[in-house]
Amino acid sequence: MVEVRVENLTKIFDGEVIAVQDVSFKVEERQILTLLGPSGCGKSTILRTIAGFNIPEKGRVLFGDRDVTHLPPQDRYTGMCFQNYAIWPHMSVFKNIEFGLQIREIEEKERKKRVKNALESVRMEEYGERMPNELSGGQQQRVALARALVVNPDVLLLDEPLSNLDAKLRIESRQKIRDLVKEMNLTAIYVTHDQAEALSISDIIAVLDRGHLRQIGTPREVWENPENAFVATFIGEANTINMVATSIDGNSAHLELKDAESGKAHTFKSEYLKGVHLNDKVAVVIRPELMFVSKSKDPTLNQIQAKVRSVMYFGTFERIVAVLPDQTDVVIHRFDQDIPIELNDNIFIHINPKLVYTFGPENL
């Protein structure tokens, strides 16, 4: 186990494509850090740079006090689990896992012992003589993980290792990976574009966008305290409403939304502001599960009127799509279904002002 530091990392391809720009973060010993972001944001490039497959144009990668920036992959003591597993089809499970030890010239008795332990760690001890084409996708994923673990890595690197599995198996596998990493006291860096996967498996999440680090923090921090509109909308489902900040008093603002037909101003209150100034056009982000519905206006609540466009029943909740006075559609997840809501009903949506995430122009 070892602390990993990435300092001011910049990676450019073909002399002009900036894949990663000035990214810095730290992964403490025994932590799982997830690099999260959409396709093309630079997360796999960062992981491959940490592994040694990419050399950065700028910045450093350190394992503890050891600068590994220019070391080849085999000298970094990392284990890597790839998206496509990269299992050799002509080798048995045992031989696949053993291969990395042979490259490191580990003697045979020690190799057999380590492979046996690795197979046991991923609950695959009876599959050693099987060929890859005799395994399910989930079993192949566990073989790839065992191969990464067998070399006793200082750092475990995982590049979207669950993307080829079905939804149910992904949920089971991410729990197994987290449990295994914690049991073995490993430092791990995990790449995914799946927000639920990142929230469930991580100690720390680094959210990336177009090569830039947009926020880093615990899963709870990035969910509950997003620094910008990108993070607020990328982590989980969210509604974005364009409004204007018509008054500001400390950490509280009154926001205005214009009726598309009458021009009448509708006001809403927010007590979560990032980079908001008076008269700014702001992005207001509200999560569907934090929006509550009633059929009557209550002046004591932070409310805005809407008209129901559709209602879908999902068992534990109703998914309501409603149109606001400015013609913006919003999605509401309604768990309290005591009051029936029908198509074309006029409703009032209310929400705690502390959960109305409001971002000024520089925090989009």
Contacts of 60 (CB under 8 A, 6+ apart): 5, 6, 7, 8, 9, 67, 69
89 touches 98 (CB < 8 A): no
* Structure tokens belonging to residue 324: 């606001």
93 touches 143 (CB < 8 A): yes
Give the residue from 100, 25, 86 showing the smallest Cα distance to 61: 25
99 touches 91 (CB < 8 A): yes
User: Cα torsion for 332, 334, 339, 345, to the nearest 10°?
Assistant: 20
**CA–CA separation, 6 vs 23, rounded Å?**
7
Q: Structural domains in the chain?
A: 4-233 (3.40.50.300), 237-363 (2.40.50.140)
Per-residue model confidence (pLDDT) at position 281: 97
Per-residue model confidence (pLDDT) at position 338: 81
* Structure tokens belonging to residue 201: 């498996």
268 touches 304 (CB < 8 A): yes
* Structure tokens belonging to residue 38: 């959409």
Per-position pLDDT tens, the chain of length 364: 799 999 999 999 988 899 999 999 999 999 999 999 999 999 999 999 999 999 999 999 999 999 999 999 988 889 888 877 778 889 999 999 998 888 888 888 999 999 998 888 888 888 989 998 898 888 888 888 888 888 888 899 999 888 877 778 788 888 888 988 898 899 999 999 999 999 999 999 999 999 999 999 999 999 999 999 999 999 989 999 999 999 999 889 999 999 998 989 999 999 999 999 999 999 999 999 999 999 999 989 999 999 999 999 999 999 999 999 999 999 999 998 788 999 999 999 999 999 999 999 999 9
Contacts of 140 (CB under 8 A, 6+ apart): 85, 87, 132
Contacts of 224 (CB under 8 A, 6+ apart): none
Per-residue model confidence (pLDDT) at position 101: 87
